[in-house]
Amino acid sequence: MICGGISTDSNKPERRYDLDWLRVIAILSVLIFHSMRFFDPMDWDVKNNVLSENIMVLVLFIVQWLMPLFFLISGMSIYFVLSFRTKGQFIKSRFLRIMVPYLFVGIFVILPPQHYLRFLSGGGSGLTFLQFYSNYLTYTFVDVFSYFNLPPMGHLWYLFFLFIFSLVMLPLYSYLITESGRSIISRTASIFEKPGAILLLALPIGILTAILDPTSFAGNPNYFGGWSILAYPIILFYGYLIASNQKLEEAIHRHGKVALVLAITTFPVILWFIQAVLDGTFQFGSYGYAGVMVLRSFNLWCWMIAFLGYGKRYLSFNNSTLKYANEGLIAFYILHQTVIQIVGFFIADWDMAIIPKYIILATTSFIAIMIIYEIAIRRTNAVRFLFGMKPKK
């Protein structure tokens, strides 16, 4: 989630304000999305007393592009960072920026309330939060390591896997930044200069999601933001490629309008197909299921092209709002779901229609997050460090 920044160092790339704005849009969309999850009929830690099938249209719409956009921008930022840092510096910066918040704030502070609220919402009783916290720590530091399970992640899976993918793919990135690597990228980019060719990058994602069993850890779209966890390294890699070659960026920008039209027009078809999958009409292994996954991936990639194309055209500017927001994006992301669930837990049984309750939930959560950030995080260097932020001068 780091973009290139302006510096007196001539090797440091000029900051891409369009990518900063897209990250802000993505972060705010996360708040909007997870506030909706309080009302949809699918499994979540805390649920409203009345659920809505209709809200699933909006949930599925945001799922199509939200986490892919995070990984695409992260891939672009990796290119910018590696253009002026060594591999060792890159690993250090990623660990401080991503893993320190996850390991120290996420595991010990942010995730325990989510697990406790799920316990209470599921009918659990008889344990205070401190008693539950003791059990949570036992699970985290005994059971996880004893049975080689993944650590608690919640919505922070993005930080965990972004760090893992960044390390695993670092040798590839390091090669592509060499002269021979750039030559390969340049020859590849010439293929995608042709009209419509850039849309073909959806195929690897489509094929992968079509062949992965949706009941498996790697293939289950419900675990990781609506997509297979293995789709994200592909998108991360695409971000790196796009940032590394001007021809690819130009191809993206030329296709922005077409991609937006295709994304909008194919989304209703996707909704129908997804319902067919849920109804059992198309089952895993059938041509119909594979077609749904390929079409979903095509729609995803059209959204990515549209965001980058229109972002470059209309969001390449800086102002005080962006400067303030950009500094606290990771802190906002870390805080948001826990705050939403706490607020939701206390208003779940209110006798109120969904729309006004949604407005109360989203607005109250946003205000609470901003107050916590401004008072408890932003002003103190020790806390800033724990949230992956640079020290305040």
* Residue 12, pLDDT above cutoff 50: yes
Share of the chain above pLDDT 70, in %: 96
Give the tokens for residue 125: 């009783």
Sign of the CA dihedral with 314 first, then 226, 240, and 158 last: positive
d(CA 176, CA 182): 6
CA–CA distance, 336 with 33 (Å, rounded to integer)? 11
Mean pLDDT (whole number) for 164-188: 93
Residue 174 pLDDT greater than 60, yes or no: yes
**In the predicted model, is pLDDT for residue 196 greater than 70?**
yes
Arithmetic mean of pLDDT, 227-248: 95
Per-residue pLDDT at 135: 87
* pLDDT for 353 beyond 60: yes
For residue 52, the model assigns a pLDDT of: 93
CA atoms within 13 A on the CB side of 320: 0
DSSP calls for 159-173: HHHHHHHHHHTHHHH
Average pLDDT over residues 209-221: 91
pLDDT at 7: 37
Does residue 1 register a pLDDT over 80? Answer: no
Q: Describe the chain by its helix, strand, coil percentages, rounded to 5.
A: 70, 0, 30
pLDDT at 149 over 80: no
Q: 308 phi and psi, to 5 degrees?
A: -65, -40
Q: Give the mean model confidence (pLDDT) for residues 299-322.
A: 96
- Packing angle of the helix pair 287-314, 256-278 (nearest 10 deg): 150
With cut-offs at 50, 70 and 90, classify the pLDDT of residue 9. very low
Phi first, then psi: give them for residue 273, nearest 5 degrees. -65, -40
Q: Band the pLDDT of 122: cuts 50, 70, 90.
A: confident
How far, rounded to the nearest angstrom, does the alpha carbon of residue 253 sit from its chain's CA centroid? 22
State the pLDDT at residue 210. 94
| pLDDT surpasses 90 at 376 | yes
**CA gap 93, 319 in Å, rounded:** 26
Give 148's pLDDT tier (boundaries 50, 70, 90). Answer: low
- Do the Cβ atoms of 40 and 58 come closer than 8 Å? no
Higher pLDDT, 126 or 70: 70
pLDDT reported for residue 140: 79
Q: Which residue has the tokens 């650590």?
A: 151
Measured at the CA of 21, the angle between CA 357 and CA 241, to 5 degrees, comes to: 125
Q: Is the pLDDT of residue 70 over 50?
A: yes
* Backbone torsions φ then ψ of 126, nearest 5 degrees: 90, 0
- The amino acid at residue 328 is G
Work out the burial of residue 11: count CB atoms within 10 Å of its CB; fewer than 13 is exposed, 13-18 middle, 19 or more buried.
Answer: exposed
pLDDT of residue 146: 63
Surface-to-core class of residue 246, CB atoms within 10 Å of its CB (0-12 exposed, 13-18 middle, 19+ buried): exposed
Region 168-193 average pLDDT: 92
What pLDDT sits at residue 273?
A: 83
* 359 exposure class (CB count in 10 Å sphere: 0-12, 13-18, 19+): exposed
CA distances from 288 to 205, 220, 222, 294, 302 (A): 17, 18, 20, 10, 21
The amino acid at 144: V
Report the pLDDT averaged over residues 313-342.
Answer: 95
